[in-house]
Amino acid sequence: MNLFEQTQQLLEDVKAFPIASAQELEQFRIKFLGTKNVLKDIFAQIKAVPNEQKKEFGQLVNQVKLVAEEKFATAKVQFSTTQQTASNIDLTLPGEHLPIGSRHPVNIVKSQIISIFNKIGFSIALDREMEDDWHNFTALNMPEDHTARDMQDTFYLQVNPAMLLRTHTSSVQTRLMEQQKPPIRIIAPGRVFRNETISARAHCFFHQVEGLYVDENVSFADLLQTLDFFVKEMFGKETKIRLRPSYFPFTEPSAEVDVSCFICNSKGCNVCKHTGWVEILGCGMVDPAVLENCGIDSNKYTGFAFGMGIERITMLKYQINDLRLFSENDMRFLKQFQSV
């Protein structure tokens, strides 16, 4: 049998070699791919092949090697998978339960606020977070030289200084009043941004829900009834409400809203600073100048507006003392709300 016939027979041996167990797989590896495999003798005899046949012979030898490597790799994967299935997986066991996630506390409270105002006819309005100066400030009775702008340290965009990250969701209200004729009854939940030093009580971004009701003959009494309904639904039927005079450039008159402390039942605690009252939001009657800026006849229509920080409500509701916890994604903190 010449060298070509020997190599061809070797190829047939590789193809026919039975591999039915891990032991036979190892025997195959030693014989055809080991350090002393049978191919080495064939390679050593290439020099005896005539020059005109060396190319053809070399291709045949390489084919034997490639077929052996491919057969070994395929069998190895097969035995590895079978072995793993047999040793590590019990098919009679029930499937593993996926871990249950939890809703973020801010989203929980936001949904509660939205649900409460939906009950009394307020619809949801959403709009852009990147806003222009007009809708964020000027239309809300804060021209360029107005001192009220100092109340909100603003992020202006470097590529376009006329644009900014909204400092409140009141910009949603101004856009809606420009586009829609009264009656308007909406709440505007969303994220807002202010250039604040991050601490336990302040952050550079947070969430607000602002409300707006514009129609004929809307009065301060309507505002008071709306807020009284909200606090009783949110904090309990026994919760009381009080208003303190305040100032906002886009409402007149304006007020800060306090509720009786639902943690200590107004007896005095650290949350209410031993006063029995907790501040939750600001409100007021929409300034006629704001209505006119948005194309609404202030002689015919009146309205009220209010706004609250969702994080503020969340901190009160769940007695959380550090605002930074809401944005740190600490699973130890978030898992506490799995069942809420």
C-alpha span between 165 and 158 (Å, rounded): 11
- 17 CB-near residues (< 8 Å, 6+ apart): 24, 28, 31, 32, 71
Domain range list for the chain: 3-88, 105-337
Q: In whole angstroms, what is the distance from residue 15 CA to residue 90 CA?
A: 35
Q: Collapsing DSSP states into helix, strand and coil, what is residue 257?
A: strand
CA 231-234-237 angle, to 5 degrees, is 70
- Which among 83, 82, 47, 62 has a CA at the least distance from the CA of 14? 62
Predicted local confidence at residue 211, as pLDDT: 97
pLDDT on residue 271: 77
The dihedrals phi and psi of 124, each to the nearest 5 degrees, come to -95, 135
Q: What is the pLDDT of residue 285?
A: 98
CATH number of 105-337: 3.30.930.10
Q: What is the pLDDT of residue 101?
A: 77
Task: From first to last of the 340 residues of the chain, give the pLDDT tens digit.
Answer: 677 777 788 888 888 888 888 788 888 888 888 887 877 777 777 777 777 777 887 788 788 888 888 888 888 887 766 555 555 667 788 877 777 778 899 999 999 999 999 999 999 999 999 999 999 999 999 988 877 777 778 899 988 888 999 999 999 999 999 999 999 999 999 999 998 889 988 899 999 999 999 999 999 999 999 999 999 999 999 999 999 999 999 999 999 999 998 888 888 887 788 899 999 999 999 999 999 999 999 999 999 999 999 999 999 889 898 999 999 989 889 988 876 6
Instruction: Kindly list the distances between the CA atom of residue 86 and the CA atoms of 4, 25, 83, 282, in Å, as whole numbers in the listed order.
Output: 44, 18, 5, 66
Cβ-contact 174, 296 below 8 angstroms: no
This prediction's pTM: 0.70
- Tokens 């709306």 appear where? 226
Q: What is the DSSP code (8-state) at residue 181?
A: P
Among 298, 276, 280, which Cα is nearest to 289's? 298
- At residue 88, the pLDDT reads 63
How far from the centroid of its chain's Cα atoms is residue 93's Cα? 35
Identify which of 247, 212, 209 has the alpha carbon closest to the alpha carbon of residue 226: 212
Are 245 and 326 spatial neighbours (Cβ–Cβ below 8 Å)? no
